[in-house]
A and B are shown apart, each in its own frame.
Chain A
Amino acid sequence: MARNLFINGESMVYVRGPSTDTNIGGSGLTELGLAGDPISVQIGIRHRDVIVDAWGPEVPMDVQCFLSDVIINMNLVHFERDILDACLRLSMGGVATVGLLGRAGRRLGAAVGGPGLAPFTAGNSYIGLIIDSPVAGKVWRFYSTYLTGNPVSFPLGVERSIVAVQFRAIPYTDDPWGASLTHGGTAGTGSLNAKLWDHPATATW
């Protein structure tokens, strides 16, 4: 079941891409823009009933949790066009130039036919996303996100536009079996402790 949270106030939005990316690479943060109104955070928690004969078919004897993802919607009143293009480019398969396509079926976290890559390394196209709202007083840090679709732009006068963007965060790890995890998780335990988001004290990685 989806649950909506809102990050109130004006929020600064920062991104971080693979280290070799020309626009949002490096080890630091890059400013994507400023959200003028609350940002919605929809946490999709997946549950499935455990039905056993002794309990009958209607009510589960237990419920299993099958991980979660997060949908983040925001309206940027001020944004960097180049940075938004870089996010679009990485979300379209991590090609070198916006507008070009990668190979069909390419994983966002790995090269074609290759193993999963650690986040923020060359070839991994996931985007780190930080939302810093002084009003809400809490920093949201999503580790592996991508743009789900086309950013929608609304002209505002002759100079400015509002652009509505949607990110999806997933609990990516470079090794889903938990053998060698460089991005959270515990070896040999699958998704245990895989990082979806956290709340650092300041807007840093």
Chain B
Amino acid sequence: MLQRFLLWLLSLVSKDEPKTEEQFDLYMPEEKMIYSYWDGSKLVTADPMVVYRRLMEKGPELNVDMMVATSPSKDADNAHVLMLEKIRYIFDVKPLENNNGLTEEHTIGLLNHFLTYTETLKKNLNPSPISSPVVEEEVSKELPEEIPPIENISVSGSTEKEPSTDMQEPSPSVLQSL
């Protein structure tokens, strides 16, 4: 009872202080993984999943356009234009005009940047900061205090005889069938 009263008092004192990181039950702003890019006139922020879906929508055709654009085909120039149109659709950017919009080189660079960004995101993605501590606590409660060490029965390079499958006990289902 006294402990609860003290905690209540403490909460009154710390009421006006900014909340610590642990008290947020949401993603921190930097953890929202918002993708931002320059569209030629302003900095645009975008949900990377939305951009990714647009990329997947145009992906197969974009891939062909890229192949044809870099080939000796007589349609290479046309494919290059089609490729740029698809990238502009994905990122909602416009071609350079009156000092606004992106050049062709920057448009292709934007796609490359996004692909690198998503690749990096996939490699460095951490588990959710909300759920991980809870899971750890639950797991620690369920596990016994002392976990017996696992015996290493297979020594590397050893010629010691290992238990073969012939020597193992039959499974319960096999026993039932007998």
A residues with CB within 8 A of B: 10, 12, 31, 33-34, 36, 77-78, 132, 156-160
Contacts and interface: CB of A to CB of B under 8 A. Distances in A.
Contacts of A34: 67-68, 71, 73
A29 to B, nearest CB: 11
Interface in B43-96: 58, 60-61, 64, 67-68, 71-75, 79, 82
Given A12-B73, A31-B74, A78-B79, A36 B58 contact: no
Nearest to B71: A34
23 contacts: A10-B67, A12-B71, A12-B72, A12-B73, A31-B73, A33-B73, A34-B67, A34-B73, A77-B64, A77-B68, A78-B64, A78-B68, A78-B73, A78-B75, A78-B79, A132-B72, A157-B58, A157-B60, A157-B61, A158-B61, A159-B61, A160-B60, A160-B64
A78 B67 contact: yes
| Main secondary structure on A side of the interface with B | strand
A23 to B, nearest CB: 15
Nearest to B73: A34
B96 to A, nearest CB: 25
A165 B79 CA distance: 22
B68 A156 contact: no
A34 B69 CA distance: 11
Nearest to A158: B61
Contacts of B79: 78
Q: How large is the interface on B (under 10, 10 to 19, 20 to 34, 35 or more residues)?
A: 10 to 19
Given A78-B75, A160-B64, 13 more contacts: A31-B73, A31-B74, A34-B73, A36-B64, A77-B64, A77-B67, A78-B73, A78-B79, A132-B72, A156-B60, A156-B61, A156-B64, A159-B61
A157 B62 CA distance: 10
A14 B145 CA distance: 73
B150 to A, nearest CB: 47
Nearest to A161: B64
A164 to B, nearest CB: 15
A158 B89 CA distance: 15
Contacts of B68: 34, 77-78
Nearest to B61: A157
A31 B73 CA distance: 8
Contacts of A36: 64, 67
A136 to B, nearest CB: 14
Nearest to B72: A12
Nearest to B70: A10
B71 to A, nearest CB: 5
A15 B72 CA distance: 15
A189 to B, nearest CB: 39
B149 to A, nearest CB: 52
Ranked nearest first, the 8 interchain pairs of A and B with the lowest CB-CB distance are: A157-B61, A78-B68, A77-B64, A156-B60, A160-B61, A160-B64, A34-B71, A157-B60
A134 to B, nearest CB: 8
Contacts of A160: 60-61, 64
